Amino acid sequence: MRPWNALEPCNGAPSKSLRIRYSIRRYNDGDLLTTKQVKLGLIASGDGSNHWAWRDASIVPGSSIDIDYYRRLASAAESAMLDFLFLVDFSFVHPDSPPHMLNQFEPLTLLSALTATTSRIGLVATASTSFNEPFNLARQFSSLDILSEGRAGWNLVTSGQEEAAANFGAMKHQDHDLRYEIAEEHLHVVRGLWDSWEDDAFVYDTAEGIYYSSGKLHALNHTGRFFSVKGRRILAVIATAVGPSLRWVCESLAVSAGAH
């Protein structure tokens, strides 16, 4: 009997990007129920995400803040045809945090640096909707998307740890359901900001003195329960084949992983 759930290479010719495609096939008593393609990524965690990994002979202590280490890792992951490199992030540390949490780069900053030495792999940064304004994240992820020519991804988290609130002037930690209500509105605002420029808005017509088509810039004018954002985004958009699809896949993966 076939396993209920199997991870198998997809049949057929490799895709244009030459990435290896895997699919999850669900069986019931030998009958194929569904086939779903998955993307494979690497969680990069420098000195190690558990307390003792940093003592292993294969790990160079200090790699969590070593740009050369990340350059080599990203190149290796790209050569291995992985779909994305994934950086975790937390908004606090305590004395017992694992080494990688105690001493790590801010993800969007590090991934921006890695755009210079990679060309195909997706670059996924963790960012919290509880401790960032939608305007800032919309702008930062747009910048990463443009720098990487459409390879940015967002692991959207709500920061469930009580200690995090104390780093942002909030005395009280938000409960689970409230955090996810905020996250939903936050994401709605970010998407609205991303959509505020139409794809072909910038015409750069030097002869006529027209920098952009005025009808293609839209204000968001969002007033909700948690956010009030007039909008417009301070950055153009890029239209690439892989960009939007990778961005949405990673984001929805993270949202569904974070939701029950």
- Identity of residue 120: R
Give the nearest distance from C-beta 4 to ligand FMN in angstroms. Answer: 21
Q: Which is nearer to ligand FMN, 116 or 257 (CB)?
A: 257
Rule CB under 6 A: choose which of 69, 90, 202, 227 binds ligand FMN.
Answer: 90
Give the nearest distance from C-beta 116 to ligand FMN in angstroms. Answer: 24
Give the nearest distance from C-beta 53 to ligand FMN in angstroms. Answer: 17
Q: Is position 98 an interface residue for ligand FMN (rule: CB under 6 A)?
A: no
Q: Is position 126 an interface residue for ligand FMN (rule: CB under 6 A)?
A: yes
Q: Is position 140 an interface residue for ligand FMN (rule: CB under 6 A)?
A: no
Contacts of 171 (CB under 8 A, 6+ apart): 165
With contacts defined by CB under 6 A, how many residues of the chain interact with ligand FMN? 14
Query: Using CB under 6 A, which residues numbered 173 to 232 contact ligand FMN?
Result: 176
Measured distance CA(55)–CA(52) in Å, rounded: 6
Measured distance CA(32)–CA(234) in Å, rounded: 48
Q: Is position 45 an interface residue for ligand FMN (rule: CB under 6 A)?
A: no
Please report the beta strands in the chain, taking only residues with DSSP state E, as ranges in sequence order: 5-9, 22-28, 31-38, 41-43, 84-87, 122-128, 152-157, 202-205, 210-212, 222-223, 228-229
Nearest to 191 by CA among 235, 138, 153: 138
Which residue number is nearest to ligand FMN in terms of Cβ?
88
Q: Is position 158 an interface residue for ligand FMN (rule: CB under 6 A)?
A: yes
Rule CB under 6 A: choose which of 23, 160, 191, 226 binds ligand FMN.
Answer: 160
Measured distance CA(233)–CA(198) in Å, rounded: 11
Query: 111, 122 in Cβ contact below 8 A?
Result: no
Rule CB under 6 A: choose which of 88, 187, 217, 242 binds ligand FMN.
Answer: 88
Interface residues with ligand FMN (CB under 6 A) are 88-90, 126, 155, 157-160, 176, 257-260
